[in-house]
C-alpha cells in the first residue's frame, strides 16, 4: 500500500537535511584534487578506520533528528519495518552523498565511519519517531504523543547534559564525580541561580508531560535519575550548584506550580534572565566593537563537531524552552518567537563589545526556525487527528496553548 506523507513533518525533515548539508559542506570551497583515488575509492579505503568517540557520537546526534522527523513523515499505512527502514535509508543516502561531495571540498575529509555513525543516528532517531507517531501503545505513550514539543525539549536538554552517554563501572570515576560535592563544596550565587532556573524549566516541562499521572513523584524521580546518571557516565561530574539548584527548583515548583500563570511568570523571568546572563557574562564590555556576523551558523562551522552539536542542542532547549513557556503563558507562538528572537538579536549586538565572542545573526535565526518547527509539528498533529489517519490520541494538547485551570493531583 502506498505511504501517505505528512506534509508538515516532510518540511521539517527537508529542513533537517538542508541543515546537515549546509554544515557538512561549509564553506563550499570546492576544487578538483590533482591527484587521488576519487571519491568512491577514498570512501571505501576508510571502511576499517577507527573513529574517535567524540566525533562518532556527535555524528550520531547530528542525524538523529533527521531519522526522528522522517519516521513521523510516513504515516501508519506502512508496515512497522518499512517505517523504520525508510528513515535509515534516507540517512544513508544523505550521508554517503555528503561524504562523496566532501572529497571535493577543501578542508573536509571523506570517511566511512562517519557514514556508520550517521546511519546509526538515523536509526536511533527513527525509534522515538515511531513512538511519537503513536504506533506503540505502551504506558506513558499517550502523554508523550500529546506533548511532543515538551518531550523534544527535555530530550535535547538531557542529550547535552549526559553526553557522552557511556556508563562505566569504575569506582574511581564515581569518586571523581562526587569529589566536587564532598571535598570542594564551593559555588557562586550565579551558578546556583542558573541551575535553579534551568531545573525549574525542566520540572515545568516534565509536569506538563506527566499532568495526568503523579508529577509530584515523577519530577523528583526524573531529577534523581539525571543526577545519578552523571555519576555513572564517563567524563561527567556533579557540582554543588547543580544539586542545590535541583533542590531549590523542586521546592519552588512544589510551592507554586498549581498557581497557573503566576507560576509561569516566575519561571519565565528566571529562565529568560539566565539566557541573557549566559550570553553576556562576564559583563566586561570594551569600548571597541568587533564586526557583526551576518552568515548564519558560521561559528558552528569553525569548531569541532561534538562541541557544535552539543551547543546546538543546548540552544535548542534554551530558546525553544522560552518560546514554549511564553506560549503556555498565553502568547501566540508568533509573538513568543518575535520576543525571543529580538532578545537574542539585542544580546548578539551587545556581544560585539565583549572580548572573545562571536556576535552573529545565528541565535536570532535559530529562535525563528525553532518556532517554525514547533508550528509544523503542531499542525502535523492536528492534521493527523482531524483526518483520522492513525489512532486518535487521548488528551492531546496544543503545545502553545495556555495551561488549563489548575486542579489537585492525587
Write the pLDDT tens digit of every residue in 47-73: 988 888 888 988 999 999 999 999 888
Contact in structure between 95 and 118 (CB atoms under 8 Å): yes
Helix 53-73 vs helix 80-102: crossing angle, to nearest 10 = 130
Q: How far apart are CA 236 and CA 342, in angstroms?
A: 34
Question: What tens-digit pLDDT sequence spans the chain (410 residues)?
Answer: 444 567 888 888 999 999 899 888 887 888 888 777 889 999 999 998 888 888 898 899 999 999 999 988 876 566 778 888 999 999 999 999 999 999 998 888 899 999 999 999 999 999 888 877 666 555 566 667 778 899 999 999 999 999 888 888 888 888 888 888 888 788 889 999 999 999 999 999 999 988 877 888 889 999 999 999 999 998 888 999 999 999 999 999 999 998 888 999 999 999 999 999 999 998 899 988 889 998 888 777 766 778 888 899 999 999 999 999 999 999 999 999 999 999 999 999 999 999 888 889 999 999 999 999 999 887 755 555 454 443 333 333 333 334 444 333 33
The confidence score (pLDDT) of residue 251 equals 96
Contacts of 164 (CB under 8 A, 6+ apart): 53, 54, 57, 233, 234, 235
C-alpha cell of residue 316:
535548542
Cis geometry, peptide bond prior to residue 261 (ω within 30 degrees of 0): no
CA 329 – CA 340 distance, rounded (Å): 14
Interval 79-107: pLDDT, tens: 778 888 999 999 999 999 999 999 998 88
Is residue 379 within 8 A of residue 308, CB to CB? The reply is no
Domain ranges of the chain: 1-136, 139-410
> Is the CB of residue 325 less than 8 Å from the CB of residue 204?
yes
Neighbours of 392 (CB within 10 A): 11
Amino acid at each position: 500500500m502506498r505511504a501517505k506523507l505528512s506534509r508538515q513533518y516532510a518540511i521539517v525533515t527537508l529542513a533537517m537535511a538542508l541543515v546537515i548539508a549546509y554544515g557538512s559542506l561549509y564553506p563550499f570551497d570546492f576544487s578538483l584534487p590533482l591527484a587521488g583515488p576519487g571519491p568512491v575509492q577514498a570512501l571505501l579505503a576508510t571502511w576499517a578506520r577507527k573513529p574517535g568517540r567524540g566525533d562518532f557520537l556527535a555524528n550520531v546526534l547530528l542525524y538523529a533528528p533527521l531519522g526522528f522527523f522522517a519516521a513521523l513523515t510516513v504515516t501508519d499505512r506502512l508496515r512497522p519495518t518499512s517505517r523504520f527502514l525508510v528513515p535509515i535509508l534516507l540517512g544513508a543516502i544523505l550521508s554517503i552523498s555528503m561524504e562523496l561531495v566532501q572529497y571535493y571540498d577543501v578542508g573536509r575529509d571523506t570517511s566511512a565511519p562517519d557514514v556508520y555513525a550517521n546511519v546509526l543516528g538515523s536509526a536511533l532517531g527513527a525509534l522515538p519517531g515511531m513512538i511519537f507517531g503513536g504506533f506503540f501503545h505502551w504506558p506513558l505513550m499517550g502523554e508523550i504523543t500529546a506533548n511532543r514539543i515538551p518531550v523534544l525539549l527535555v530530550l535535547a536538554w538531557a542529550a547535552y547534559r549526559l553526553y557522552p552517554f557511556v556508563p562505566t563501572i569504575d569506582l574511581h570515576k564515581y569518586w571523581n564525580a562526587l569529589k566536587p560535592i564532598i571535598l570542594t563544596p564551593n559555588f557562586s550565587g550565579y551558578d546556583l541561580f542558573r541551575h535553579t532556573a534551568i531545573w525549574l524549566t525542566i520540572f515545568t516541562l516534565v509536569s506538563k508531560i506527566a499532568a495526568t499521572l503523579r508529577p509530584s513523584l515523577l519530577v523528583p524521580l526524573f531529577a534523581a535519575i539525571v543526577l545519578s546518571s552523571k555519576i555513572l557516565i564517563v567524563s561527567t561530574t556533579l557540582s554543588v550548584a547543580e544539586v542545590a539548584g535541583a533542590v531549590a527548583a523542586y521546592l519552588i515548583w512544589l510551592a507554586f506550580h498549581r498557581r497557573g500563570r503566576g507560576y509561569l511568570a516566575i519561571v519565565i523571568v528566571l529562565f529568560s534572565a539566565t539566557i541573557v546572563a549566559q550570553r553576556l557574562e562576564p559583563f566586561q564590555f570594551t569600548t571597541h566593537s568587533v564586526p557583526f556576523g551576518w552568515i548564519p551558523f558560521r561559528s558552528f562551522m569553525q569548531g569541532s563537531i561534538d562541541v557544535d552539536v552539543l551547543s546546538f542542542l543546548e540552544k535548542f532547549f534554551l530558546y525553544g524552552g522560552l518560546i514554549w513557556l511564553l506560549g503556555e503563558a498565553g502568547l501566540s507562538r508568533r509573538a513568543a518567537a518575535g520576543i525571543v528572537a529580538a532578545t537574542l538579536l539585542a544580546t548578539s549586538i551587545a556581544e560585539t563589545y565583549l572580548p572573545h565572542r562571536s556576535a552573529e545573526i545565528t541565535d536570532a535565526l535559530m529562535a525563528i526556525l525553532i518556532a517554525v518547527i514547533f508550528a509544523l509539528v503542531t499542525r502535523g498533529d492536528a492534521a493527523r487527528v482531524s483526518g483520522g489517519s492513525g489512532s486518535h490520541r487521548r488528551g492531546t494538547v496544543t503545545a502553545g496553548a495556555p495551561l488549563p485551570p489548575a486542579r489537585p493531583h492525587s
